[in-house]
Amino acid sequence: MPAGSDVMILDGGLGRQLARMGAPFRLPEWSALALIEAPEFVSQAHAAFIASGADVITTNSYALVPNRIGEARFEKSGQRLAALAGRLARSAADAAHRPVQVAASLPPLFESYRPQSFEAARAPQILHALVEGLGPHADLWLIETQSSTAESTAAIEAIRHTGLPIWVSYTLRDEAGRVGPAELRSGESVEQAVSTDIRRGAQAVLFNCSQPEVMDAAVLAAIGVVRGLRSSVRIGVYANAFMPEPRSQQPYAGISTLREDLDPQRYLDWATRWTRSGATIVGGCCGVGPEHIAALHAYFR
């Protein structure tokens, strides 16, 4: 796809960028620790991604969930911290010398990559705090790293009343040696997820926090659904740079090792492949930094 195209560029992985900058960073709090202890780093990370060419920056709210920051802290301060994350992103976007949108991140509420951990009865209460805190500062909602349509449906219902555009992003099965059609980590097909989200009013469906190698099949499957339904929904990708991990590894066993073969040029090669298949939104997830986003910006703009 040539430069000057209509590809929208997202930011990269906020958590790893914060760690690279020297912000407070550890498990289980992940990126939330900087928000709690040193929010100036969050502002600096947003500014770095804007300077690299991102059209959309994502709020630092991915880890603002009880299993990350603790049940008591979330109950007492979850909404306040979400509002802080929203304000920091909004301020960074408003300070840019060109239009930059703020995507309010609604993360997996219980555990990433673990669809069986989803608790439908508890979800509305957690979502309420995040939505109330983030909503006033957002241009759109990014329901991200979802492992199942049950997760994404709960989030859509929690934000429908806001009237803001809804983007839904799924993480895919990508265990080492995997072959076969693109699937969510729940085992649901990409086609099923995309058709579900189109019916529920999403403006974009994306795939994130998975290996670059599995994304193209997901894009092609998604585009097939969009065309079949004659929909205007956009398809996007923001892959991670994690090393492939064995299927048996439990999440959060440690801070995952990053690949050495995904330098900015190699990541751009993947992104151009996704756009040739029909994606019109590209960015990066964990381990993809401002230098990668700058390469995307230089090519697509």
Q: How large is the average pLDDT for residues 205-209?
A: 98
pLDDT at 300: 96
pLDDT at 301: 83
- Tokens (6 digits) for 151: 């997760």
DSSP designation for 244: P
Q: How large is the average pLDDT for residues 189-196?
A: 98
Q: What is the mean pLDDT of the chain?
A: 94
Per-residue pLDDT band for 247 (boundaries 50, 70, 90) equals low
Q: How large is the average pLDDT for residues 13-36?
A: 96
pLDDT tens for each residue of 135-155 = 999 999 999 999 999 999 999
pLDDT at 252: 46
What is the CA angle 106-98-17, rounded to 5?
45
Domains in the chain, ordered, with CATH?
A: 8-300 (3.20.20.330)
- Tokens (6 digits) for 268: 């751009």
Question: Which run of H or of E encompasses 289?
Answer: none
Is the bond leading into 264 cis (omega within 30 degrees of zero)? no
Neighbour order of strands in the sheet with 140-146: 8-9, 281-284, 234-239, 204-208, 166-170, 140-146, 101-106, 56-58
> What percent of the chain has pLDDT above 90?
90
User: Which H, E and C letters describe 152-175, residue by residue?
Assistant: HHHHHHHHHHHCCCEEEEECECCC
Q: How large is the average pLDDT for residues 27-55?
A: 97
pLDDT tens for each residue of 251-260 = 545 567 889 8
Q: Residue 250 pLDDT more than 60?
A: no
Residue type, position 28, single letter: P
pLDDT at 3: 44
pLDDT at 258: 86
What is the CA angle 226-164-227, rounded to 5?
5
pLDDT at 13: 97
Residues written for the chain = 301
Q: Residue 230 pLDDT more than 90?
A: yes
d(CA 47, CA 206): 24
pLDDT at 234: 98
pLDDT at 256: 75
Q: Residue 288 pLDDT more than 70?
A: yes
Per-residue pLDDT band for 2 (boundaries 50, 70, 90) equals very low
Q: 242 vs 38, which has greater pLDDT?
A: 38
Contact 278, 220 (CB under 8 A): yes
Return the CA Rg of the chain.
Answer: 17
Q: Which residues pair with 207 in a beta bridge?
A: 170, 237
- Tokens (6 digits) for 64: 């603002």
d(CA 58, CA 46): 8
